[in-house]
């Protein structure tokens, strides 16, 4: 019953990303529409159900748990869940508990997160220009996020900035962002924009800035050294010799990383997506709510892992956004 989760391509599933809400206090243009219709509360897993579900995965071999949204810190009483998950850190069953956030609520929650055993947070930040930040997030305000980053660092959390590379938007801030991160001793990872969701008039291909080209621009300032380091996710890391800082690249389009994929995603309604770039998913809410024991839930988890595909189909090589999936990024939490 407790055999590890191995997919059809002999990849051990050790990394679980769980969305605890589809709601967010921002409306980033590449993530969701400005006028979103959010799910009714009854459809969402309760915090107790999220605990039981995550605990089942940990029992089956998951060692890294990342909490996502929407914006996870807008979920009511979310710290109750983080504190509950900390028991798995204390037993050693879980090696890392972390989250991805837009930073808006970090000023409020950073200390509590550290107290619950969180040691690293990823903060989404695409620009250091206040007006551009307001434009791309629609509802966000940069000073609030910067205060949150300050609070996180003061609480002892290691911060990594996630920046979506967007042609015509933040190309001119490449060195501004890297220098700012170096000055703050925060890591930085660039992410290629993915063709997910119907975002109205947004042109996915027009937004696409290949990280191969971005890296070439970085190289104009000095040598770049590839690093063997992995943190359990899809990023590949380099060191900029001019500053000594670590830079990550997540390249779902220019360099597919599927061969080493060790992760699955759970939505806030209990759907499991074994690939971010595929539509296929399975229901875990039914077996979770249908029995007080975990036998049916474990069986449903194993059945889903047995259908994990080899990889996604994102592709811009034909000058269009092929492999697009219909759900918004916020639905599966990135």
On whether residue 210 sits in a domain, the answer given is yes
On whether residue 191 sits in a domain, the answer given is yes
What does the pLDDT read at residue 194? 67
On whether residue 4 sits in a domain, the answer given is no
- Residue 26: CATH number of its domain: 3.20.20.70
On whether residue 2 sits in a domain, the answer given is no
264 labeled binding residue: yes
**26-29 — which CB contacts under 8 Å span 24+ positions?**
26/71, 26/102, 26/104, 26/137, 26/138, 26/139, 26/140, 27/137, 27/138, 27/139, 28/102, 28/124, 28/126, 28/136, 28/137, 28/138, 28/140, 29/136, 29/138, 29/199, 29/202
What does the pLDDT read at residue 269? 96
What does the pLDDT read at residue 92? 98
Q: How many domains does the chain have?
A: 1
Beta strands in 20-93 (DSSP E): 64-68
What does the pLDDT read at residue 104? 97
pTM for this predicted structure: 0.88
252 pLDDT more than 70: no
**CA angle, corner 121, sides to 117 and 122, nearest 5?**
160
On whether residue 83 sits in a domain, the answer given is yes
239 labeled binding residue: no
Predicted confidence (pLDDT) per residue in 33-54, tens digit: 788 888 898 999 999 999 999 9
Predicted confidence (pLDDT) per residue in 98-157, tens digit: 999 999 999 999 999 999 999 999 999 999 999 999 999 999 999 999 999 999 999 999
How far is the C-alpha of 51 from the C-alpha of 62, rounded, in Å? 14
30 labeled binding residue: yes
196 labeled binding residue: no
How far is the C-alpha of 53 from the C-alpha of 74, rounded, in Å? 20
**Full residue range of the structural domain in which residue 237 is found:** 15-332
What does the pLDDT read at residue 31? 79
17 labeled binding residue: yes
On whether residue 52 sits in a domain, the answer given is yes
On whether residue 32 sits in a domain, the answer given is yes
Q: Which contiguous run of DSSP H or E holds residue 121?
A: strand 120-124
On whether residue 237 sits in a domain, the answer given is yes
265 labeled binding residue: yes
* Whether the Cβ atoms of residue 125 and residue 162 lie closer than 8 Å to each other: yes
24 labeled binding residue: yes
């Amino acid at each position: 019953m407790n055999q590890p989760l191995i997919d059809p391509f002999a990849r051990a599933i050790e990394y679980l990303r769980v969305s605890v809400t589809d709601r967010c206090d921002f409306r980033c243009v590449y993530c969701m529409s400005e006028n979103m219709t959010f799910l009714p509360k009854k459809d969402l897993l309760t915090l107790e159900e999220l605990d039981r579900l995550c605990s089942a995965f940990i029992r089956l071999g998951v060692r890294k748990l990342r909490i996502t949204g929407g914006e996870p810190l807008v979920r009511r009483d979310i710290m109750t869940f983080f504190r509950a998950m900390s028991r798995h850190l204390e037993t050693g069953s879980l090696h890392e508990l972390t989250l991805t956030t837009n930073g808006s609520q970090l000023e409020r929650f950073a200390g509590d997160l550290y107290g619950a055993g969180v040691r690293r947070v990823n903060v989404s930040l695409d620009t250091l220009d206040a007006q551009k930040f307001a434009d791309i997030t629609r509802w966000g305000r940069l000073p609030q996020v910067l205060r949150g980053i300050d609070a996180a660092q003061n609480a002892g959390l290691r911060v990594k900035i996630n920046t979506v590379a967007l042609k015509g938007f933040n190309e001119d801030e490449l060195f501004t962002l890297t220098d700012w991160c170096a000055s703050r001793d925060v890591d930085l990872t660039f992410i290629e924009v993915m063709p997910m969701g119907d975002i109205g008039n947004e042109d996915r291909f027009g937004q696409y800035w290949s990280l191969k080209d971005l890296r070439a621009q970085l190289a104009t300032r000095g040598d770049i050294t590839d690093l063997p380091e992995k943190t359990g996710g899809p990023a590949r890391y380099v060191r900029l010799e001019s500053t000594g800082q670590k830079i990550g690249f997540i390249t779902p389009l220019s360099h597919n990383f599927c061969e080493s994929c060790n992760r699955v995603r759970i939505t806030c309604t209990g759907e499991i997506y074994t690939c971010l770039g595929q539509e296929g998913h399975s229901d875990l809410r039914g077996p979770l709510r249908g029995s007080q024991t975990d036998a049916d839930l474990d069986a449903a988890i194993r059945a889903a892992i047995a259908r994990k595909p080899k990889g996604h189909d994102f592709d811009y090589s034909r000058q269009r956004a092929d492999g697009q999936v219909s759900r918004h990024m916020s639905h599966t939490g990135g």
